[in-house]
Chain A
Amino acid sequence: MASKTKRMFATVGLIVLAVTGVPAAATAASATLYELTENMHLDNMSAPTLRTASAALQGTTQAGTPICPAALVTLLSTLGFQTGSTCTITAFAEDSVSLQTGSGAFTGGFAVVVNADNPVDAPELVVMTGTFGASMQVLAGANGERLPLIQITNGTVTPTDVLGVPIAYVGLYFTGLTPEMFPSGTFGGMFRLPFAMHDSKKVKPQRNTDAFYLGDDGEFIRIQQNETSLGYATVRVEIGF
């Protein structure tokens, strides 16, 4: 892994992607989200010690998780919404990371969305919302170099409302539902930061690169086309509950 890591950091390379993508979906993790926008600030431009950022994310999660409870899926089906084995999730999050230790934390809000008035684009109608928070730690390789991986620990997620109704009152509005059907949960996971390779030559980065994520075992995971946004590779967030 060390040699791979060295190669990885040696260069940023760019090749046009020729990808045979598969639909983005929650796979090994219970949820997979992608960072679509990020606004980042450093506390001191000349000698930064703290990196803060806000981000918008979107992805999918498996039904039966705290952010896609089975009771929600049943309710949506009853109301005539198209449902399946996953939910689409949007999230806004803020994080703060020490540039010295690589440790930090994030908090945010999420929404479960379904298709409503334009099914050609992504789902937009909010059917459940909630909040979350967790600790994060940038991982380092055997030689101390930072890896494009950020581990998520001590995560908590709490649903707050269903179709605008606070969780505590869902039983008053939806027959058969109880607040216990929308429990808080804990989670962990991993941010996978995209990187690129191009022989060992350093070239100016740009969009449409042949880009990868680093796997847990050091393997390169080729980024699929439907993991990109406007041609850019995205940060992938894998969550397990």
Chain B
Amino acid sequence: MSSKTTRLAAILGLATLALTGVPAAARAGGATLYELTENMKIVTSSRDGRTTNRRAAMSALTGVAAVNTPLCPDASLASGPAGCAVNVTGLDNVSLVTGLGTLAGTFTTVVQGDNPVDGPEAVVLTGSFTGRMDFSPAIVRQIPYGSVSGRVASGRGKDTPFTGVFRLPFAGNVEVAPGLKVTLRQLFCPASPAPNPLAPMYGGHDLAYLDFDANGQPNGQCLDIQPTELSLGAPLVRFDVKF
């Protein structure tokens, strides 16, 4: 991971952007959230003479959930045609050896309150969730995604199971390793070889997420990251949830 991580360290100078993207929308029957902040610590523990490292983090996420899902049970709570605006505070704890771990957190469904220009803020529904994470693709195999399964409970209704995938952003124009004339896009997205057309606006960085087949496996295509998927000029981890 270190060499790839080093290569990914082509820090993004996201200047001269123009906002021409399309609003992020929730997938049918699901939700699309973005990780806006993350506070992460490496926790080392010893047991029976063995030392293990775990990655523990707390994150703030926001996004949109489709109507008739646990995060948006009623169309009257929707902030727009895409569905309900949702804020999430999440905690996760993942082994750096296996990539397996847990997550938990709370969510709020919000509508526009006293300032319609910024994001919705008035809380109309709250709930919580727990689940298990498999980040072995990212941590063990250096493929930028991880999966989740769990249950979510809201103030309206019973527990509902969910599955999800975290898509980690990457710069497709970065070489896999120094001297290897293979880029991350060539490695991860052979079925969509054209770089993100917005790359010139991203300082030349071909920002992308992996795409997946019906079984949740990478399908060789990538999704171009849109300007409305950035926060403060930086790309975000995207969390797609299905109920």
Binding site for B on A (CB under 8 A): 12, 16-24, 34-42, 51, 53, 56-59, 90, 92, 111, 113, 115-122, 124-126, 148, 164, 193-196, 205-209, 211, 225-235
Tell me the nearest residue of chain B to A229, going by C-beta. Answer: B231
Query: 6 interchain pairs (CB within 8 A)?
Result: A40-B121, A53-B121, A90-B39, A122-B236, A125-B42, A230-B63
CB under 8 Å from chain A, chain B span 114-135? 114-119, 121-123
Whether B123 lies near A40 (C-beta < 8 A) is yes
Kindly list chain B residues whose C-beta atoms are within 8 Å of the C-beta of A111: 39
Kindly list chain A residues whose C-beta atoms are within 8 Å of the C-beta of B80: 206
CB under 8 Å from chain A, chain B span 148-167? none
Whether A193 lies near B115 (C-beta < 8 A) is yes
Least distance between A116 CB and chain B CB atoms (Å)? 7
Kindly list chain B residues whose C-beta atoms are within 8 Å of the C-beta of A56: 36-37, 60, 89
Q: How large is the interface on B (under 10, 10 to 19, 20 to 34, 35 or more residues)?
A: 35 or more
Q: Mark B27-48, 1 if CB is under 8 A from A, else 0.
A: 0000000111111111000000
Least distance between A31 CB and chain B CB atoms (Å)? 14
Whether B118 lies near A230 (C-beta < 8 A) is no
Name the contact of B170 in the complex, choosing from A16, A120, A207 (C-beta under 8 A). A120
Query: B180 at the A/B interface (Cβ < 8 Å)?
Result: no
Tell me the nearest residue of chain B to A18, going by C-beta. Answer: B18
CB under 8 Å from chain A, chain B span 2-34? 5, 8-21, 23-24, 34
Kindly list chain B residues whose C-beta atoms are within 8 Å of the C-beta of A16: 19-20
Whether B232 lies near A122 (C-beta < 8 A) is yes
Whether B38 lies near A122 (C-beta < 8 A) is yes
Whether A19 lies near B18 (C-beta < 8 A) is yes
Whether A41 lies near B23 (C-beta < 8 A) is no
Tell me the nearest residue of chain A to B119, going by C-beta. Answer: A232
Tell me the nearest residue of chain B to A227, going by C-beta. Answer: B232
Whether A17 lies near B232 (C-beta < 8 A) is no
Whether B39 lies near A113 (C-beta < 8 A) is yes
